[in-house]
Structures are given as C-alpha cells and as structure tokens.
Chains A and B, each alone.
Chain A
Amino acid sequence: MVEVKNLTKCYGSIKAVDNISFTVEAGEILGFLGPNGAGKSTTMNMITGYISSTSGTVTIDGAEILDNPKAAKKKIGYLPEIPPLYIDMTVKKYLEFMFDLKKVKLPKKEHIEEVMRLVNVSDKADRIIKNLSKGYRQRVGFAQALLGNPPVLILDEPTVGLDPKQIIEVRKLIKSLGKKHTVIFSSHVLSEISATCDRILVISNGKIVADAKTSELSSSISGEQKLALQIEGTPAAIGEAIKRIPAVMRVVKKGSAGENANNYIVEYEKGADIRRDVFSAMSRIGCPILMMKSGNETLEDMFLKLTSGENDKAGKGGRD
C-alpha cells in the first residue's frame, strides 16, 4: 500500500532522513517510534508530499507522490503534528471546507456528520475552533484526516495533548480504523505504540534501527527468559540450589542489596515457568525471597539500547 524506497532528506549538510526504506501492507498499523529530532515528522511530511525528498521515492497504492501527486494525495488522510485548523471557522464550516478541498465524492452532509460522530465532536459542530480546547482541536484535526475515507492514514503524534480517557479512545479508534485502513502513526510514547501497532519501526538519527512485529520485538533480543531475584542468605548455597532446578541455564549474582541480601539474574529456557520451583528451593534452604520479577527486556530497555549511542551524535541532528 505504502512503499518507501531509499528516502533521503538533506537540510544543507545535515541529513535529517538518511536512506530509509520500508513497505506497509494494506490493513497494517505501523508505529513510528523515535526520540525527538529523529526524523519522524520529516519522513511523514515526505510521504504526504508536503515537502519533497532529496532522493528516493514514495509510492502510495501505485501512485508516486511527486510524479502523480493528485492520485497519491487523494488516498492519504494526514494529521500533522500541529493540526492544520483555520481557527476563525466553526468546526462544521471547517470540515465542509476540507471536504471540498479534498474533492471528496461522498454525500457531503451525511459524511461530515458521520466523521464528527466518530471522533466525538458532534456537540461542538457550531463552535468556533479558536474557542476549543487542545483536545478538541486535536480531534477536529483527526476528523479532517478521516474525511473521504482515505485508504492510508498518516497520523503524527495523534494523542499529544489529550487527557488519559481521550488517549484510550483515540487508541481504540486507531485500532478499529486499522481494520479497513493502512495506518502509519508516530509517537514517542512506547506503551501507546505497543498497545496499538502490529509493527514497529524505530528510527534514530534519520536511520531505521529496528523494524519488527510488536510481539517479536521484546523477546527477539534475548533468546531466553530471565528472572530477577533478591534473596537473603549465602550466595554459594543459593546459587547451588537454583541451579538444581531443571529449566535453569545460568545464575548470575548482580551486586548486593543490603546486609545479607543479594540480587540475582536467573536465565532459563523459553516457555518454562520456574517461579514455584525457585520458591520451594529457597524455602527448603531457609533463604527468604525478598523480591521476584520478570527480568525480560521491556520495550523501554530495548528502545534505549537501540537509540542510545547514536543519540549523542543526534544532538546536532536534523529537525523533527
């Protein structure tokens, strides 16, 4: 549906986006993740044809954005970082204008009402946008992107400025839209991406550093599962007792946590659950477990791992 090939954007000598390629299939929700200034918005602006690329191509359902802009742009609904609202218009008038601007061929009145209902702004239809709060403005921006039911939706940080309840609503909306539309949305909130997306693309310093299915991503980095423990007692005896549990592969002591207590990381085979075994083994030797939690790498750890190092250089990097 969306095909990005060797896309590069230079601002003078600075490479804001550096030779990135990816494809998004129809009905897929792609999360675009990256620290500030990584090039997320620049990439989105290039996909939607707001700015041109220095080199590379963007193809939307077979139409190249610079060669055949009219056909390509008709297929895209775009919500930029700052919603493009004419603040002196009422919500309804604005959506009517956007409807005409996008040359939508659906029944005007019904379609606008339907979109307003979908993003929950029907009760504010006759209010002037200037007087609306940030959350409502964001939703009107969202409504504008949905006009004409475009097959591709590109949303740049759609949940910024919303309250927690609205964030959940918007996520639900994105999920439901993902059934019929191809959605690309950016965010720097990890939990949001992992909750809504089928696939994650991590971008740092203008380059793609990871591209994987959400479910694969957190476990792909570590082949085995880990358990973090804090146990009171002699380390040698504890290590010995844990190693005797069948699924355990390795026990590593990770510094002390108080007078007689130590931290341990236990690596064990994928699919096994050793928590009960650890409990009974420790109770047998009389060593109390002070803490036990999954030691698997979270998305946050992974994100930091992928984007750090390059991040120091990114200080002088491109625009977001």
Chain B
Amino acid sequence: MGAIFKRELSSYYNSATAYVVMAAFFLFSGIFFYYYCFVGNTASLAGVYGNMFMIIMFVIPIITMKSFSEEKRQKTDQALLTSPTSLTEIVLGKFFGAFALYTICCCIFIVYAIVISFFATPDWPVILCTFIGTLLLGAALIAMNVFISVLTESMIIAAISGMALGLVISMMSSIISMISVDWITAILEKINFTNYYTNFTYGILDISDIIFFLSVTVLFLFFTVRALEKRRWS
C-alpha cells in the first residue's frame, strides 16, 4: 500500500494535476474568503465553507480521474495486479494518495483562520469541526470518484461522470423539493450530503454524520475492489 500511495502522490506533483487543482482550490476559496470575511466583515468561515462545497465537487473528479482509468489504458495495471499486493491494498493506496492531495488543499482553511486571528478571535471549535467535516466529505467523494474511474478506460469520461454526480449531490435539496412522492423524498433526504455537511459548518460534531460519510467511503472502496476483481473474471 505504501508504495502505491507514494507513487500516486508523487505522480500528482510530477504532472500538472496537483498544481492545477491547488491553484483552483486556492483561487476560489480566496475569492470566497475575501468576499465573505472582508467585504462581509465577519470572523465566521461558514460562508466560505458553504460555497467551497460546489468547488470540491468539481475538483475531486479531476484528482481521481486518472487513478484507475489511465492504469488500464497504459496497461500498467498488469504490474499492479501481478504483484504480491492485494486488491484492497491497491485501492487503499490510490484512495489515500488522492486524499493526501485533497488534505493539502484543505489546509488553506487553517491559513484563513490564522489570518482572521489577527483581526478578531476566530471560533476555533467551529473551524476545526468544519475542517473535519470537509475532510470527511472529501473522503466520501474521492471514494465515489475512484469507483467511477475503475469502471472506464477514459479519464475524460471518468471526470465528466464524476462532476455530473457531484452536481446531482449538490442540487439534492432542490431535487427533493421538486418530488412530491413521500417515500422517495424520505429516502433522498437520508442520502442528502448537504444535510450532513451543514451540521459540521454549525460546529456540531454529530457521530451519525461522521458515520454517514465514513460508511459511504468504505462502501465505495469496497465496490472498487469488487469491480477490479470482476474485471479479472470477465
């Protein structure tokens, strides 16, 4: 797992991916930070986090689009699958590689909090809580997008399907309001990412929210392992 994790992270930095992703992440969070905290004159980062939800939806497919699709296209998966490394280790290595880059991006929020601390006292528990929430949200999305990339050989298809999925997730609340069938809205309400994420931005560290994101992560990583296994048998 360690070898794959290391290679994955260094490949982001060998190609332009890491720099483009970080630039986009820092640019948009910077704009939101300026707009909400300086123009809006507040010490709360809630507005920044709320808007970054959308940006994260677009950034994560870019990070993960290559993870399995490119391996298959370049036939490098032959090296991985014929090595004495288990499928779970391979998937976890890929996942943590992407997650590490995402975590580096998220560290910018800590920088903003420190900037605020020069002017006012930031609400540290809320900031920390939201930070954890953002990481958990990212983990779940990365797992979903890694799963998408294992299904296709084209990284363009992987990226676009990942973004479409991200859009559906971020528009879930409006979709729910359009549906009038009770049992469908009840189900969709249960899988609405925004509901769980918003709790974190209020500074509420609820165990059920944490479990929701963790179980989505584990579920999709498990699907990824199964999809790899299935490819071998077909």
A188 an interface residue at 8 Å Cβ cutoff?
no
CB <8 Å contact, B6 and A52: no
**How many Å lie between the Cα of A201 and that of B86 in the bound state?**
32
Q: Find residues 22-72 in chain A having any chain B CB closer than 8 Å to their own CB.
A: 45, 48-52, 69-71
Please measure, in the bound complex, the distance between the C-alpha atom of A88 and the C-alpha atom of B2, giving whole angstroms: 19
Pairwise interchain contact A76-B6, C-beta atoms closer than 8 A: no
A86: contacting residue among B7, B84, B86, CB under 8 A: B7
Tell me if B104 is interfacial: C-beta within 8 Å of chain A.
no
Choice from B2, B77, B81, B233 contacting A100 with Cβ under 8 Å: B2
- A76 vs B79: C-alpha distance in the bound complex, in angstroms? 11
Are A76 and B14 interface neighbours, CB within 8 A? no
A226-268 interface (Cβ within 8 A of B): none
Interface residue total, chain A, C-beta cutoff 8 A? 29
| Segment touching B, from A77-85, A112-120, A269-277, A284-292 | A77-85
CB distance from A105 to the nearest CB of B (A): 11
Say whether, besides A52-B233, A89-B14, A78 and B3 are in contact (CB < 8 Å).
Answer: no
Instruction: Return chain B residues, CB-CB under 8 Å to A89.
Output: 7, 11, 14
Q: How far is the CA of A212 from the CA of B45 in the complex (A)?
A: 76
Instruction: Write out the residue numbers on chain A whose beta carbons fall within 8 Å of the beta carbon of B79.
Output: 84, 98, 101, 144
On whether the beta carbons of A48 and B82 are closer than 8 Å, the reply is: yes
User: Cβ of B76 and Cβ of A84 under 8 Å apart?
Assistant: yes
Whether the pair A101, B83 counts as a contact (CB closer than 8 A) is yes
Please judge, given known A-B contacts A88-B11, A88-B14, whether A78 and B78 are in contact too, CB under 8 Å: yes
Closest A residue to B80 by beta carbon equals A101
Chain B interface, DSSP helix/strand/loop, else mixed: helix
Bound-complex Cα distance A89 to B84 (A): 22
For residue A319, CB closer than 8 A to chain B, the reply is no
Residue-by-residue, is B129-144 near A (CB-CB < 8 Å gives 1, otherwise 0)?
Answer: 0000000000000000
Q: How far is B66's CA from A88's CA once the two chains are assembled, in angstroms?
A: 13
Residues of B within 8 A of A84 (CB): 74-80
Bound-state CA distance A85–B86 (Å) is 20
Pick the contact of B6: A85, A97, A144 (CB < 8 A). A97
**A92 touches B (CB below 8 Å):** no
Contact B84 A87 (CB under 8 A): no
* Size class of the contact patch on chain B: 20 to 34
Q: Is the CB of B82 within 8 A of A82?
A: no
Shortest B150–chain A CB gap in Å is: 16
A69: B residues at CB distance < 8 A: 84, 86
Closest B residue to A94 by CB, please name it: B7
Is A102 positioned at the interface, with any CB of B under 8 Å from its CB?
Answer: yes
What chain B residues lie within 8 Å of A103 (beta carbons)? Answer: 83-85
Report Cα–Cα, A51/B234, bound state, in Å.
Answer: 8
B226 smallest CB distance to A (angstroms): 14
Q: Quick check: B84 and A102 within 8 Å, CB to CB? A: yes
Interface centre among A71, A76, A84 (most CB of B within 10 A): A84
In the complex, A101 Cα to B83 Cα: how many Å? 7
Interface contact B78-A73, CB-CB below 8 Å: no
A97-B10 Cα distance, complex, nearest whole Å: 11
Cα of A237 to Cα of B144 in the assembled complex, Å: 87
B232 at the interface (CB under 8 A from A): yes
CB proximity of B233 to chain A, nearest CB, Å: 5
Any chain B CB within 8 A of the CB of A74? yes
- How far is it, in angstroms, between the C-alpha of A71 and the C-alpha of B83 when the chains are bound? 10
In the complex, A84 Cα to B82 Cα: how many Å? Answer: 11
A-B contact pairs, 27 of them (CB 8 A): A48-B82, A49-B81, A50-B78, A50-B81, A51-B233, A69-B84, A69-B86, A70-B86, A73-B83, A76-B82, A80-B75, A82-B75, A82-B78, A84-B74, A84-B76, A84-B77, A84-B78, A84-B79, A86-B74, A93-B10, A97-B3, A101-B3, A101-B4, A101-B83, A102-B84, A103-B84, A144-B79
- Residues of A that sit less than 8 Å from B by CB: 45, 48-52, 69-71, 73-74, 76, 78, 80, 82, 84-89, 93, 97-98, 100-103, 144
